[in-house]
Amino acid sequence: MFAEVAIKVPLFRTFDYRIADNCTVQVGCRVTVPFGNRKLVAIVMAIKSTSEVPANKLKSLTEVLDDSPILSTIHLKFLRFCAQYYAHPIGETLFTALPAALRDGAHPDKTTIANYVLSEAGKLQPKLRAKKQMALLAQLGKSGESSLTELKALGFSKQQINALLDKQLITEQIKHDTQWQNQAITIANKPRLNEEQATACSAINQQHNYRCFLLEGITGSGKTEVYLQSLERIVQSGKQALILVPEIGLTPQTVNRFRRRFANLAIDLWHSNLTDNERLHTWRRAEQGSCALVIGTRSSVFLPFKSLGMIIVDEEHDGSFKQQEGLRYHARDLAAYRCASINIPLILGTATPALETLNKAITGKYQLLTLSQRAQTTTDNQFLLVDMKGQKEQAGLAPTTLQHIAATLKRTKQVMVFLNRRGYAPTLLCHECGWLSQCKHCSASTTYHKAMGRLVCHHCSEQSFVPPQCPDCGSTQIMPTGIGTEQLEGFLTECFAETPISRIDRDTTRRKGALEDALDEINQGGARILIGTQMLAKGHHFADVSLVVILDVDSGLYSSDFRATEHMAQLITQVAGRAGRSGEAGKVLLQTHFPEHPLLQDLVNNGYQDFARFALKEREEALLPPYSHLAILRAQATNAKQVFDFLSDLVPATPYCGIQLLGPIPAPMERLAGKYRYQLHIQASERMILHNYIRQLMQYVSEHKLANRVRWSIDIDPMDT
Ligand code: ADP
Ligand code: ZN
Ligand code: ZN
């Protein structure tokens, strides 16, 4: 007998090995095989009685690592689809989907992981002098149970945990692997649904087969409540569910809400902060059916659930669902495939649907469910466009903007100022000769960080000292140009000396737990002005914000990326959702040089729904996705000519009916970390044509004489164009 196996090598094929007579092995098991002069872990894809490889060339399996399959046939089929769809080598696809511990051949059941819970004494709310220990008790009071990793992510240390263990205020609890499927499930105090929520829930509850629901509802309209109540039926019937969330959305607030609602269900988390051991543990629990729910970031879409009953994708438009390297998959799209193939419902929830998703809802492929009102408040936000033409701005703020900020602070409300550029200034400029501080390795300017006294490239992270003089002309007149969050904070601190200000960006939140601390302080009303980058835009709830200011709207209006306006509109709508929960109507102030821009006008006057439908028409006229299908072949190398030649060669060599090729064109960042980057856009009106062409192209590319000299990759349905 022969085993067809997948090995983690960048080749679009599987390999055959002989199975020794005394050896038993099943499809989906890991084995080790001799490969060249190495011994590698491989996964058995099929067992067959013949092989096309001549008998004298066939080697035997070295060792069988699993008694029973670690990947079921259904899961293998899913991963095979994944490799085909994204034109990625099958072995690399399988190994990307496996948790790291299983990739190196570890035994799947070697781990147990304890969660921390309050002891009886701990529940009595004892008073302790150590503040952090008190905070830890409070956290466990809220979450019910938390793992070491979760607590560490919140800024707690092992010492603090040990101190509480010593005082017997908390205990370790091995996660209950009880059969929750056979127990009554307690559902803690839930609110009565409003009419729209009830309509949505009943539509979802009636659906036992595959159906994709687009739950379109503004922030605070009660989408999470709809998820929670739709999940009841699923878990009560003993099925598991997966809730996919963007990285930033995996805040304790959301998780606590699920844990409080389903108090006696095992709910596991999956995100980038987990240790390999914890991932393995969750993987196995999903597979054995011992956890009911998993709340996870994009790669949780690969978890091998024993009996999956529903997938929910929260903030489905979010860019973090797309993996940007290696296997370039989109977790939302894979979730849709998975649900369809095992015939279960899928919910995509968002205030700002991706245009691809919205198009499917409009054409009836997906069922649209709308929540149009906020669940708790009824105030509507008001948009204000501030025309920046001819304005005397200070630190990027127009006088009108400053007046609005002052007035809001006077009413003791919070203000949020949003600028998607960290650092002090995006570049240094020589006033005499026009020299700009540039990264040596990238086609980008270096950002000036005043507090650090350094120039930093935000693309390759290279740092350098600030030159005392212009390197070109020797002038000392070099000055920061443009505005970053650090400068904005400095300026607002001067303007509003008495006002506590909090800045949230990658620079201020490097320390673990720093983000949570800052958010806590904001929520307790400490900071009155919040300055932030995109990090602040998503997933956080602030009670007291009544003015949101967005400074760099224009960068989204005119960009070479055809998705830029869509992303800008999503961002504005998301950020606007942060305002107006404080009892008074929120104001959203947008600074722009193009107040008459039709898409912007549509967005502020008629809202995202209208904007999106208008933007879809533009896409249709330009035959851009979702009205066509796109892939990008990217290539990079230190030698620009090699990259260019490599891509240029492919264009005449692979003609194909129904395919438009554009390029080679320089990537948006032509040079990055010393490498030159070019790309080829591949477009087709039919998905089948695109995929058939790509298959042929991959064959041709991998045999090309320059294929080993340049680094190349294919990106199907790319997000960055
Ligand atoms: P979204 O997920 O759309 O942002 P949430 O589900 O978080 O909205 O709801 C916003 C707030 O309103 C939450 O505090 C939630 O508890 C509350 N809420 C949601 N639905 C209801 C309801 N039917 N009755 C009362 N409160 C509700
Ligand atoms: Zn100069
Ligand atoms: Zn750089």
Question: Quick one: average pLDDT of 426-440?
Answer: 93
Confidence of residue 626 (pLDDT cuts 50, 70, 90): very high
Instruction: Report residues whose beta carbon is within 6 angstroms of any ligand 1 atom.
Output: 191-194, 197, 217, 219-225, 375-376
- Residue 379 pLDDT > 90, yes or no? no
Q: What is the pLDDT of residue 251?
A: 65
CB burial of 607-636 (b: ≥16 within 10 Å; e: otherwise) equals bbbebbeebbeebeeeebbbebbbbbbbbb
Q: What is the pLDDT of residue 548?
A: 92
Question: Quick one: average pLDDT of 553-565?
Answer: 87
Question: Quick one: average pLDDT of 368-388?
Answer: 81
Q: Whose CA is nearest to atom 9 of ligand 1?
A: 222
- pLDDT tens digits along 81-92: 999 999 999 999
Confidence of residue 320 (pLDDT cuts 50, 70, 90): very high
Do β-strands 38-48 and 30-35 pair in parallel, antiparallel, or remain unpaired? antiparallel
Confidence of residue 177 (pLDDT cuts 50, 70, 90): low
- Output the known binding site for Zn(2+): 430, 433, 439, 442, 457, 460, 470, 473
Q: What is the pLDDT of residue 585?
A: 76
Q: Between 539 and 150, name the one with better pLDDT.
A: 150
Confidence of residue 64 (pLDDT cuts 50, 70, 90): very high
Q: What is the pLDDT of residue 582?
A: 61
Q: Enumerate the H helices of 298-415 as residue ranges.
A: 331-342, 355-362, 399-410
Percent of the chain having pLDDT more than 90? 62
Confidence of residue 578 (pLDDT cuts 50, 70, 90): confident
Distance 193 CA to ligand 1 centre (A): 9
Q: What is the pLDDT of residue 336?
A: 97
Distance 435 CA to ligand 3 centre (A): 17
Question: Quick one: average pLDDT of 198-220?
Answer: 93
Q: Are 524 and 552 in contact (CB under 8 A)?
A: no
Q: Which of 291-295, 444-448, 501-505, 553-557 has the lowest mean pLDDT?
A: 553-557
Q: Whose CA is nearest to atom 27 of ligand 1?
A: 375
**Could you say which ligand is closest to the alpha carbon of residue 195?**
1
Q: What is the pLDDT of residue 110?
A: 56
Task: Determine the residue of 373, 376, 378 to mutate for testing ligand 1's pocket, defined as the one with the most ligand atoms within 8 A of the Cβ atom.
Answer: 376
Distance between CA atoms of 83 and 716, rounded to whole angstroms? 11
- Residue 596 pLDDT > 90, yes or no? yes
Q: Which of 99-113, 455-469, 525-539 has the lowest mean pLDDT?
A: 99-113
Q: Is the pTM of this model over 0.90?
A: no
CB burial of 76-99 (b: ≥16 within 10 Å; e: otherwise) equals bebbeebbebbbbbbbbbbbbbbb
* Nearest alpha-carbon partner for 140 in 150, 129, 131, 127: 150
Whats the size of the chain, residue-wise?
721
Cα-based angle 145, 149, 152 (whole degrees, multiple of 5):
100
- Residue 70 pLDDT > 80, yes or no? yes
C-alpha distances in Å from residue 262, one per residue of 137, 190, 422, 703, 710 = 21, 10, 40, 54, 52
Q: Are 634 and 677 in contact (CB under 8 A)?
A: yes
- Residue 175 pLDDT > 60, yes or no? no
- Residue 628 pLDDT > 90, yes or no? yes
**Could you say which ligand is closest to the alpha carbon of residue 463?**
3
**Mean pLDDT score of the chain, rounded to an integer?**
90
Q: Between 278 and 196, name the one with better pLDDT.
A: 196
- Residue 654 pLDDT > 80, yes or no? no
Q: Evaluate whether ipTM surpasses 0.90.
A: yes
Q: Which residues, in sequence order, are CB contacts of 474 under 8 Å at separation 6+?
A: none
Q: Whose CA is nearest to atom 25 of ligand 1?
A: 191
- Residue 494 pLDDT > 70, yes or no? yes
* Nearest alpha-carbon partner for 261 in 350, 144, 373, 139: 144
Q: Are 360 and 563 in contact (CB under 8 A)?
A: no
Task: Determine the residue of 196, 215, 224, 228 to mutate for testing ligand 1's pocket, defined as the one with the most ligand atoms within 8 A of the Cβ atom.
Answer: 224
- Residue 282 pLDDT > 60, yes or no? yes
Q: What is the pLDDT of residue 172?
A: 84
Q: Between 714 and 542, name the one with better pLDDT.
A: 714
Q: What is the pLDDT of residue 518?
A: 82
Q: Is 21 exposed, middle or buried (0-12, 13-18, 19+ CB in 10 A)?
A: exposed
Confidence of residue 275 (pLDDT cuts 50, 70, 90): confident
The residue whose two tokens read 């687009």 is: 214
Question: 3-state DSSP call for residue 82?
Answer: helix
Q: Are 332 and 198 in contact (CB under 8 A)?
A: no
Q: Which of 251-265, 292-306, 443-457 has the lowest mean pLDDT?
A: 251-265
- pLDDT tens digits along 17-48: 999 888 889 999 999 999 989 999 999 999 99
Q: Which of 52-56, 329-333, 435-439 has the lowest mean pLDDT?
A: 52-56
Q: What is the pLDDT of residue 517?
A: 80
- pLDDT tens digits along 689-704: 999 999 999 988 988 8
Confidence of residue 519 (pLDDT cuts 50, 70, 90): confident
